[in-house]
Structure 1
């Protein structure tokens, strides 16, 4: 039951962060007319979210493995919500672009924690179902974004509509943050060290780090164990016979 509650929070956060990019494309013309944004600013507004999202994935996954996922999950959602407020109330195109970059970092911090939590909490069929639900939520967000954005523009007009669209995910984020903070015992504890293979959130740690179950004494003992490996004896020199004239 506890794992299912965490699953629902993760799916809600995934929907919130993945809806943001799909809903933006429909309001770009209204945003351009309202703020007088040039082509360069529009490119940053549209592509900045995806750029910072991708750049944050691997570092956030590693930090989640080391420090625990709950803090990064909540912090990423908080940054995402703050970026939505700035973008929705901005009076200049460059401010919207900066807010979109911040939102991408927040979303890129949240989503690796979702994948890592699925790996930590579920096994077998349950893990496959959780990942399938996450993929379904992502597809649903991509499908609903354009019609929802168009409906908001139609009902409120272009000047106010694009701001409301950028603020559309704020209520979802504000609901997910207290749910994620509640009952922290449901969240797995952080690992003591990175595993030597690919981490559960998808990031690939540096070689040479111990496994999560390794203790300091075992780490100290490993060099000695390595030194006990049998070595091939070096061949003894064969005496050369004296050549007779």
Structure 2
């Protein structure tokens, strides 16, 4: 009887050991799954940021190629060209807004394809040229490609020139210089991945059409990127300042 009792005790201890091993295996499996999910999220975030930056970079690459042609550059500075609009004195403080549409042959064709946005006191004004220029998530052709993944919006505005002598030619003095000075523009490209966000279409559209890309020093407003951040919408924003110089023969 004693020996039989010992056998039963040994069988019970085996069961406990098996249960402990199952718990350990379960914990190891859970940690492995969590680690895999974390690695996947990191990889997805890295890929998303690379995709966003590539699309923003392509804006400046396209624009610089376009302006390298003297004829195209001249067209952009006259009539309804995008540079002509923002450089007019009456449009100071206004941003011209373009949506980079994948099916468009030339997204920088002119201000007729754009909208304009600016602050009037503490009130945003965004409909002077209509609202077709803003990217809208409910419009399929507002995405860069047919995959409907990335959307890129571009703003153009005149920049101030706080360097009084920058426009001078070598050998000139300020009084005798015949230079008309320099003109600068700031161009901001904002790319977003709306499908990786839980925000509604209305929230995304509001961020893109109700805020400027710059901070007005008087009202210290919320910007497009501030809005995107608050709504947890993945984005990449890049800004470049370009100096426009007239070419003169000596």
Shorter-chain TM-score bucket reads under 0.3
User: TM-score by structure 1 length?
Assistant: 0.26
Structure 1 or 2: more strand by fraction: 2
Structure 1 or 2: more helix by fraction: 1
* Higher Cα Rg, which structure: 2
User: TM-score by structure 2 length?
Assistant: 0.25
Higher relative contact order (CA 8 A, sep 6+): 1
